[in-house]
Structure 1
Amino acid sequence: MKTIFIKNKRIKAAVLSLVAATCMVAARLPQQSTLPPGDPDNGGLTTPDGFETVVVADSTGQARHIVVNENGDIYIKLRYYGKGERGGTVALRDTNKDGKADIIKNFGQYKDEGGLANGVTIHNGYLYFSSTLVVYRSKLIPGQLLPDEKVEVVLRDDHEHGDHWHITKPMAFDNKGNMYVPFGAPSDACQDMVNSPGGQPGSPGLNPCPDLEKHGGVWKFSADKLNQTQKDGSLFATGLRSIVGLRWNSDDESLYAVVHGRDNLHRLFPDLFSSWQSAVLPAEEFVKLKQGSNIGWPYYYYDQMKGKKMLNPEYGGDGKKEGEGSKYQNPLIGFPGHWAPNDLLFYKGDQFPERYKHGAFIAFHGSTNRAPYPQAGYFVAFVPFKNGAPAGPWEVFADGFAGVDPIINVSDAKFRPMGLAEGLDGSLYITDSRQGKLWRIMFKGNKKSFGPAQLAAMEKHKQLAHIRTPDEVKDNLDAETKLAGQRVYNTYCTPCHQRNGLGDGSRFPPLVNSEWVTNDKRRLIEVVTKGLEGPIEVLGKPYNDLMPKHDFIKPAEMAQLLTFVRQNFGHMPDRITEDDIKRVTKKQ
């Protein structure tokens, strides 16, 4: 090879600059030869032809949101635990580039604001991560996997409320130094949570809703100011009950969110809404937020089948009344109810076929409260995007997480997709909240020939029970239920504890072999009739949520219900009688 010497300094500088730029571009361009091989079983997932999936890690813990650094290091926020510590974060590194993480380290110990954590992201050289009440940050150190041990508090939620509030703290950052954080609300539709915890059948909503003063919206803060509380920020958008997935889209410099709709239409208003309506309504909303946006909660919900905002029953609605719903902002897309959209990602890379660029991936964590119909969601969708709006119908991009269909109980699902992240090479990463599995999806096919045939194969997944809208008669799982106690249980208890009594694996505890079921009958009756709030332990695991009181259930039905629970989940041969119920409730 001949060596060329360049004497002219200007030419030499130009050549060196060109070489450097070329190397930088080459480093950023996805090279299929540098991508690791996919797993033989595609990681257990179904994706469009041309994509391959590798499992990066099998069991990181109850994984929530995820971010990938420029050097490929991965950071995952855990919901509860990191090596026994409450509310940890886990860091992963693949040193030999085979696609599998060979270094996995937990870090982040903060004992004051534990469970139900979600958010993690990288901004201006810092790793931002959150618990339910606090947004923290730690400085990332070049070449080092773990961030600086110094942890700074960026934002603290200083309100008084229990863990049943939808107060998880995902974060999004714009390019002007602002951080956006949601403050969720506790109830279905602003019911009185003090005198009627959890809402009782027929309970009206408070009007005007006092929760909207400090909750039910997204607030804007400084991204770099420390020790902020809500009063240091400003209200950006309101009428948003619960947000877990929040993203800033640099394409149009706008904030987007996927919003969890309300629950319990049939349980709270059985004369107005059927169990089928309660299973599929209201919509999970994909929204574009701007300063002053009002999405309508708690007064209105979105009906994806009617394509309209409808008046909530707590404010006089009956499923037919629109009221003044047209005054509120409609979503970009209304997805079927209770799919639990828990993360949102706008794809910026070049690895995937061109049609995916600028589009939105949405991770549907899956429903818990569709009984007596099968649970739904549990997949990752894709929405084509153009000029700040959907450019076509939503698609099934990745499926197979649950491993079963239909999904009768949450515990039947093997995995539940949760967090989304994009690597510098354009790979898509997906976390699982059950066992902490982590997938990396890569495109290895021909981008020019990718199109209708590959998409048509995935379109068939929309006919599976966990995605399609259930048939009101044929898919009703209670059609053959004979036991009176089981019918009562399926109506009021399955949304949290599931048909098999195993709970949802995180928020709601199991009933099977639980000491709360098998021990003192009096305590079981009191819990159901009076409700329960605050930290408890069930089978050695901590829980901290709200068990609403069910004193509206008639003593005879309550006796049937608790007898079914004791016999079916606790293997207790004795019965709970109507007199047992009356003796306990008279003393309350």
Structure 2
Amino acid sequence: MARLYKLKPRLLNKLLCFGIIAFLTTGAHQSVKNILPAGDPDNGGLTTPDGFKTVVVADSTGLARHIAVNSNGDIYVKLRYYGNGQQGGTVALRDTNNDGKADIIKNFGNYKDHSSLANGITIRNGYLYYSSSLAVYRSKLIPGQLLPDEKTEMILKDDHEHGAHWHITKPMAFDSKGNMYVPFGAPSDACQDMVNSPGGQPGSKGQNPCPDLEKHGGVWKFSADKLDQTQKDGTLFATGLRSIVGMRWNLADESLYAVVHGRDNLHLLFPDLFSSWQSAVLPSEEFVKLEQGSNIGWPYYYYDQIKGKKMLNPEYGGDGRKEGEGSKYQKPIIGFPGHWAPNDVLFYQGNLFPERYKNGAFIAFHGSTNRGPYPQAGYFVAFVPFKNGVASGEWEVFADGFAGIDPIINVSDAKFRPMGLAEGPDGSLYITDSVKGKIWRIMYKGDKKNFGAQQLAAMEKHKLMAHIRTPDEAADNLDMKTKVAGQRIYNTYCTPCHQRNGLGDGSRFPPLAGSEWVSGNKRRLIEVVAKGLEGPIQVKGKPYNDLMPKHDFLKPEEMAQLLTFVRQNFGNTPDRVTVDDINRVLKK
């Protein structure tokens, strides 16, 4: 400072002015960064509690799955596939002018199992962790740079032999001690023999003891930093878990939580024991706390949220009424209705939202595909309040309107489907959509002190909507007026995957509408239905890799009616399939 006194007054004044301007400019820049952007006039198309505002960050990033947000606000979204028009397995987004809209969007990431289903993505200790169905990778994040280092490290490889089995996606969670938790999902509803009876047959039995539990149907614990691990490098942490897509470590109580997909096909496989209504609403999607040694009960038991009990699966002698030894297995924190597809869970740590949201759990319900003959359900984001590490109240509807329609008859009717959740550095909640890759950012701009019953009551009314409420067994049955025999058979056995409009679910299950597999050679079509099919296959230029169970239990007359209906609808060639066609192919 002494040197400044020796400067000429005019020069000193210039320097001081420059310093003040620089200070003000820097301060102004910092304050702009702390100001939340405006919400969209239509609230991003969503309904949220009063005081919350929503801005659409991006409209169409691709088939988006999970999401992570860095401390500087950069966003990373895992895509379902690498390739197939997506240019890369991951999308990076940056908002450079703080208007809430991403103005830099770049794809990156390539890996060998590029055709498989991908989900998880997390930022940890300066690394971006992301996964495919068969591996967990990481790349070093470079300060100031949007894209991570091009070098990719393999953290975990699934070295099992997999056909077109289900539920092998690899979301991951990290604790505070350097451990990584990864689920290895199971390939069937209830441990049926997937080799000799792909997908299960009506009345099929479950294997006891279940051999799948040795390497599947649970969560394994690994080192978060060791490279090139396989399952044998980990230890079994929790078991009895059929399928997990959403899993998160809760820092508030240093515990692992997951949202678990329940089994399917109760009516399809056991029509004498379970009605189509029971199959639509059961079994529960479970929100569980997992500890070392937890056993949730799969494949022997499922949770009935209506009875509030673990029930014996029909593959093991259950009939919807038998409890067996279900009381020995861990019950969920909350049992949500069946087939809502909970695909992510997030414990809110920020201070932007009203205090009641602190440490509570947001759950994204991706939405059902197989509730027929009843409307599809889910397609919203719920909130579960927590206090002192324990759920402290009923679940609530937090964000709705993603589907843009109610009731939802076919999956393709839904405009958007909520998928991934992330918390931004300022406490904003980010939500991805899996249909087009839309990203929403939800902020709170109201009076936090006066937030309460009034705002929550308005959202409670959404529980009366068709995609959330329990359907009426008679009034909501979409098949009550169905008279065409082939259509009744189709609605019973085919709509869980291919949907009532024949368009599939847009991801796992292919369309029948305009499909070369339907309008092409009759022999191939008959063999697919009678003998089943295991991927990978191409339908209308898009890859699919799942199981088509064999339907050889259908009588030739029923199969002919079914295939005639399929070939004469959904814009396909109006060509019949006769009983003689069936018998010639199957040599009956």
> C-alpha deviations, 1:505-534, integer Å up to 9, x for none?
001010001111111111111111111102
**Displacement after TM superposition at 1:387 (Å):** 2.3
**Displacement after TM superposition at 1:535 (Å):** 1.1
The residue type paired with residue 105 of structure 1 is K
Contact map agreement 2:88 2:107 (CA 8 A) in 1: no
Which residue in the other structure is 1:527 paired with? 528
> C-alpha deviations, 1:248-303, integer Å up to 9, x for none?
00100000000000000000000000000000000000000000000000000000
The residue type paired with residue 43 of structure 2 is N
The residue type paired with residue 461 of structure 1 is H
Shift in CA distance, 151/33, structure 1 to aligned 2, threshold 3 Å: closer
**Displacement after TM superposition at 1:33 (Å):** 6.7
Task: Return the alpha-carbon distance in structure 2 between the equivalents of residues 92 and 164 of structure 1.
Answer: 33
Which residue in the other structure is 2:324 paired with? 323
Which residue in the other structure is 1:470 paired with? 471
Q: Which runs of 5+ in 1 are unaligned?
A: 4-25
Shift in CA distance, 175/482, structure 1 to aligned 2, threshold 3 Å: same
1:467-546 aligned at under 5 Å gives the runs 467-546=468-547
Task: Return the alpha-carbon distance in structure 1 between the equivalents of residues 575 and 232 of structure 2.
Answer: 55
Matched, 1:102 2:96: no
**Displacement after TM superposition at 1:396 (Å):** 0.1
1:382-397 aligned at under 5 Å gives the runs 382-397=383-398
Contact map agreement 2:237 2:293 (CA 8 A) in 1: yes
Task: Return the alpha-carbon distance in structure 2 between the equivalents of residues 570 and 404 of structure 1.
Answer: 24
Task: Return the alpha-carbon distance in structure 1 between the equivalents of residues 211 and 84 of structure 2.
Answer: 40
Contact map agreement 2:33 2:98 (CA 8 A) in 1: no
Count of residue pairs the alignment pairs up: 562
> C-alpha deviations, 1:408-434, integer Å up to 9, x for none?
000000000000000010000000000
1:203-282 aligned at under 5 Å gives the runs 203-282=204-283
Contact map agreement 1:82 1:107 (CA 8 A) in 2: no
**Secondary structure of residue in 2 paired with 1:288:** strand
When the two structures are superposed, what TM-score results if normalisation uses the length of structure 2?
0.94
**Secondary structure of residue in 2 paired with 1:568:** coil
The residue type paired with residue 204 of structure 1 is K
Task: Return the alpha-carbon distance in structure 1 between the equivalents of residues 519 and 483 of structure 2.
Answer: 24
Which residue in the other structure is 1:437 paired with? 438
The residue type paired with residue 188 of structure 1 is D
Contact map agreement 1:86 1:110 (CA 8 A) in 2: no
Task: Return the alpha-carbon distance in structure 1 between the equivalents of residues 305 and 119 of structure 2.
Answer: 27
**Displacement after TM superposition at 1:572 (Å):** 2.3
Contact map agreement 1:67 1:120 (CA 8 A) in 2: yes
Task: Return the alpha-carbon distance in structure 2 between the equivalents of residues 30 and 410 of structure 1.
Answer: 44
Task: Return the alpha-carbon distance in structure 2 between the equivalents of residues 36 and 176 of structure 1.
Answer: 36
The residue type paired with residue 48 of structure 1 is P
Matched, 1:64 2:61: no
Shift in CA distance, 33/224, structure 1 to aligned 2, threshold 3 Å: closer
**Displacement after TM superposition at 1:107 (Å):** 0.4
Contact map agreement 1:295 1:328 (CA 8 A) in 2: yes
**Displacement after TM superposition at 1:31 (Å):** 9.4
Task: Return the alpha-carbon distance in structure 2 between the equivalents of residues 259 and 187 of structure 1.
Answer: 14
Contact map agreement 1:353 1:447 (CA 8 A) in 2: yes
> C-alpha deviations, 1:538-560, integer Å up to 9, x for none?
11111111111111111101100
Contact map agreement 1:343 1:363 (CA 8 A) in 2: yes
**Displacement after TM superposition at 1:102 (Å):** 0.3
CA-atom RMSD in angstroms = 1.6
Contact map agreement 2:39 2:54 (CA 8 A) in 1: yes
Task: Return the alpha-carbon distance in structure 1 between the equivalents of residues 293 and 506 of structure 2.
Answer: 37
1:104-253 aligned at under 5 Å gives the runs 104-253=105-254
**Displacement after TM superposition at 1:85 (Å):** 5.5
**Displacement after TM superposition at 1:81 (Å):** 3.7
Contact map agreement 1:87 1:115 (CA 8 A) in 2: no
Contact map agreement 1:514 1:570 (CA 8 A) in 2: no
Q: Which runs of 5+ in 2 are unaligned?
A: 5-26
**Displacement after TM superposition at 1:165 (Å):** 2.2
Contact map agreement 1:30 1:351 (CA 8 A) in 2: no
Which residue in the other structure is 2:553 paired with? 552
1:571-586 aligned at under 5 Å gives the runs 571-586=572-587
> C-alpha deviations, 1:385-416, integer Å up to 9, x for none?
01222100000000000000000000000000
Matched, 1:42 2:43: yes
Shift in CA distance, 54/574, structure 1 to aligned 2, threshold 3 Å: same
Which residue in the other structure is 1:311 paired with? 312
When the two structures are superposed, what TM-score results if normalisation uses the length of structure 1?
0.94
The residue type paired with residue 34 of structure 1 is I
**Secondary structure of residue in 1 paired with 2:449:** coil
**Secondary structure of residue in 1 paired with 2:534:** strand
Contact map agreement 1:68 1:421 (CA 8 A) in 2: yes
Task: Return the alpha-carbon distance in structure 1 between the equivalents of residues 139 and 546 of structure 2.
Answer: 29
Shift in CA distance, 502/375, structure 1 to aligned 2, threshold 3 Å: same
**Displacement after TM superposition at 1:124 (Å):** 1.1
Which residue in the other structure is 1:16 paired with? none
